[in-house]
Structure 1
Amino acid sequence: MARKRTTPPRQTQARGAKILSAYLENADVFRTAKTNGTNPRGPAVLVLRNRPDFDKKDFDRKARDLVRLGQQGRLSKAKSDRTANNVYHQGGRGTKPGTRTRTNVFRDRVTRRLTRNRRLTQEHGTRETNQYLANKELVERLYGGRGPIRARGEGLDPDHIHELQLDGADTYANLRLMDAWTNRELGREISLALRDVPEGTPVIVKVLP
C-alpha cells in the first residue's frame, strides 16, 4: 500500500517558500572561514530583494542608499552594541527625563511638530485650519509604530539611512521615516545575512529587480 503524502509536492513548496529580503551572495566564503578560524578575503556581498509584503517605495529608497554607500566604501560590519542608539533625554512636553533611544526621541519630535497647533481639536476644523487633521494619517502611523507591527502600512519608524549594523552614525541627520514593517523585517534579515561576517569587514550591496 502506497504511503500517504504528508508534505506538499516539491513544486508547491518552492512556490510558497518565503522570499528573503537580504542574503549574502558569498556566504559560503564566510562560513568556511569561520569554521576554519581563518580571515575571509574580499568584501561581503549583500544582496537585497523587495518582498511582496514590503512597502516598495520605501524599500527601493533604502536599497538605493545602501548601494550608493557601498560604492563609496562606507559600509562595513559594525560592532554589536545594543546601547549605541541610546541618548539622554531631558524630558518635557509630557515626557520624563532619562535614557531613551534616539529613534524614539526623533519619533516624538516629529509627532510634536505635526500636532503643534492646539487651537483646534482633531474632531473640529478643516485640513487648512488644523495641522493635526492635515497630517492625521501620518500622525496615526507614527503612533502605530510605537508597538508591535504585523503588516505593511500599520506604522512608521525612524530608520537609519546608513544602517547602524553597517557602521552608520547614530545621529538625527541619519534618520528618516520608513514603513515600520519594511524597516524591521529588512533590518532583521540583513542582520541574519551578516551573522558569519567578522566585524570591520567591508560590505557592498546589490539589488535584485
Structure 2
Amino acid sequence: MLLDADGVPVAAGWAVPLRWDGRAEALPSGYTDALVRAVEGHEQGVEPDTLVICGAIVTPSLKGQGLAGRMLTALREAGQDAGLPRVVAPVRPTTKARYPLTPIESFLRWRREDGTALDPWIRTHERLGARILAPAPVSQTMTGTVAEWEGWTDLALPESGDYVIPDGLSVLRVDRDADVGLYQEPNVWMRHR
C-alpha cells in the first residue's frame, strides 16, 4: 500500500508467489490459475521463484500522477526482497472493453503512432521495462444464472447467444436453456525485468 504524507492510502496492490520455469507455454492460464497455483504450491511446500502481480489500484481522484507505476515498482521490489528472481503479471488491458469483439491476440499487438502500446495499462508496464509474453484468453471465468447476469449488467438477456456487456473485455455467452451466463475475460501476460 502506498500512503501519502498524511498516512492516507493512495494506492494498493497485491501479488502472489509461485513456481514457474520461465517458459511462456508454462505460464498459468491467467489470473485465476495463478492464484490456484500459488495456494497449491504453498500447501505442497513448493519453493516459489516468481512473483505474480495480480493487481494495482489507485484512488480515482489521483489517477494520472504516476502512482500506478510506483505501486508496480514497489511490488517488484517486494518480490526481489523475497528472493523471487522473476516477476510477471496477467495484465487487464483497460481499453480492451472498447473492443470486446477483438481477440486478445490481436489487441495486444495494437500500437500507437509512437510505437507504444495502444492500451495505457500495458503501456505503463512497458514503461517500467516489462514485455509482452503471451495472451491469456481465459484469465478469469465468471458464471451466473441469466437473472444474475441481467442484474449485474442491467441488460435484458432474452435469448441464448453472445452479448456485449458494460466494461466487458469479451462477450457474455448466455445459454437460456441451461440458465447460465459465462464470461471469460482475457488478459495479457507480461514479464518485468
* TM-score, normalising length: structure 1: 0.23
Structure with the higher fraction of residues in helix conformation:
1
Greater relative contact order (Cα 8 A, min sep 6): structure 1 or 2?
1
| Larger Rg computed on CA atoms | 1
Structure with the higher fraction of residues in strand conformation:
2
